[in-house]
Amino acid sequence: MELELIKNSILEMRGKKVMLDMDLAKIYEVETRALKQAVRRNIDRFPEDFMFQLTKVEMQNLVSQNVIPHIKYFGGAAPFAFTEQGVAMLSSILKSKKAIQMNISIMRAFVMIRQWALTYQELSDKLTDLEQQHNQKFNDIDQVLKYLLLKEQTKTQQAQREHLGYKK
C-alpha cells in the first residue's frame, strides 16, 4: 500500500516526474514547513534539476486537473516540486530513520514507473517495426497498448481524487 501511495504522489511537471513537498512531508511524517525550512537551509544542494518552486499557473493547473482539491490547500505558499534526484538529496538533510526508509521506497517507485514506461515504449517500437515489415497496421494491438496506458493514468487520477461520503 505504501508503494501505491508513493506512486500516486508522483506527478509530471515541466517534463519531469516530481513529488510535491506536501506529499513528501506526509510520507516522511514531518511538517511541510519543517521540510521546506530544511531545504532552504541547504539550498545549495538543490539545483533546478533537483527541485523547483511551482508558479501560480502550475498551482492553478493542479487544481483544475483535480490533483489538488482547492488552491487554499497550498496554504498560501508555492510548493516545491522535487525530481528523483531531489528526493534522494532530501534523505541527506532529513536524517530520521523514517526519512531513510521512505526514501528507499520512493526510489523504488520512481524506478518502477521508469521501467513500466520503458516496457510500453519497447512494445510500441516493436509494433511499429512489425507494421513496417508487413506493411500492415495492427490496430487491435495498438488499441490494447493505448488502453493499458490510459487505464493506468485513469487509475492514478482516480486515486488522487478527494473521496466523498462516509469515511471509515
pLDDT tens readout for residues 29-63: 888 888 899 999 999 999 999 999 988 888 888 77
Residue type, 28: Y
> What are the φ/ψ torsions at residue 124 (nearest 5 degrees)?
-65, -45
Give the range of the structural domain holding residue 13, as residue numbers without chain letter.
2-112
On whether residue 17 sits in a domain, the answer given is yes
Is 134 part of any domain?
Answer: no
Most confident of 49-58, 69-78, 127-136, 137-146: 49-58
CATH number at residue 59: 3.10.260
The answer to whether residue 87 sits within a structural domain is yes
Whole-angstrom distance, CA of residue 40 vs CA of residue 99: 18
Tell me if 144 is assigned to some domain: no
Domain membership of residue 67 (yes or no) is yes
Q: Is residue 118 part of a domain?
A: no
Determine the Cα–Cα distance for residues 22 and 41; give it in Å rounded to an integer: 18
Q: What are phi and psi of 166, to 5 degrees?
A: -75, 135
Strands 80-82, 16-20: pairing is antiparallel
pTM metric for this prediction? 0.59
Identify the weakest region by mean pLDDT among 29-33, 35-39, 74-78, 89-93: 74-78
Q: Can you read off the three cell numbers belonging to residue 44?
A: 545549495
pLDDT given for residue 1 in this prediction: 47
In a domain, 156, yes or no: no
If pLDDT is split at 50, 70 and 90, which confidence band does 15 have?
A: confident
Domain count, the chain: 1
pLDDT digits (tens, 9 = 90+) for 138-165: 666 667 766 766 766 666 555 555 555 5
- Across all residues in the chain, what is the average pLDDT? 76
**Cα of 51 vs its chain's centroid, Å:** 13
Q: Is there a domain that residue 40 lies in?
A: yes
| Average confidence (pLDDT) over 89-96 | 78
